[in-house]
């Protein structure tokens, strides 16, 4: 390989790396939060983002026969101990046939089921 080809190849690699860095920067900035001219607008933006995340979480369907503890605690009125009780119940007695059978788990009543009925399922 002569000197001219060696430097041409190095230049080609340098250009390729620069292009890759530029593409990565553009893709990362596509998901970046916008800049704000005052703190109040930034605060309102963050509140709106948090509200959207909570709404998305509150609308997600939960299959009570497959849900993890983390998924179960996203339900209204279900904390860690009740989530663990649900998991223990289904391990001992098998899958729930209906959403209403959730009331067989100690500490879970009809009101809790009704508050969450729109998000509960027993099948995928």
Regions of the chain with pLDDT less than 50: 3
Q: Provide the domain limits for residue 85.
A: 60-121
Q: What is the pLDDT of residue 2?
A: 53
Q: Has residue 101 been placed in a domain?
A: yes
Residue 38 lies in a domain: no
- In a domain, residue 117? The reply is yes
pLDDT given for residue 32 in this prediction = 65
Reported pTM = 0.56
Q: Cβ atoms within 10 A of the Cβ of 33, count? A: 9
Residue 64 in domain: yes
* Structure confidence at residue 52 (pLDDT): 77
Look at residue 49 and tell me if it is in a domain. no
Q: Is residue 116 part of a domain?
A: yes
pLDDT value, residue 96: 97
3-state secondary structure of 8: helix
pLDDT at 53: 74
Q: Is residue 39 a part of any domain in this protein?
A: no
What pLDDT is attached to residue 50? Answer: 82
Number of structural domains found in the chain: 2
């Amino acid at each position: 390989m002569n000197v001219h080809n060696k430097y041409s190849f190095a230049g080609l690699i340098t250009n390729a790396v620069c292009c890759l860095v530029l593409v990565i920067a553009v893709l990362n900035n596509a998901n970046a939060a916008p800049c704000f001219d005052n703190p109040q607008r930034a605060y309102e933006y963050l509140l709106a983002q948090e509200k959207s995340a909570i709404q998305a979480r509150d609308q997600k369907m939960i299959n009570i026969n497959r849900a993890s503890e983390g998924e179960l605690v996203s339900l209204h009125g279900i904390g860690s101990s009740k989530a663990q009780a649900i998991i223990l119940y289904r391990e001992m007695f098998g899958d729930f046939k209906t959403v209403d059978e959730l009331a067989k788990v100690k500490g879970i009543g009809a009101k809790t089921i009704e508050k969450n009925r729109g998000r509960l399922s027993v099948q995928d």
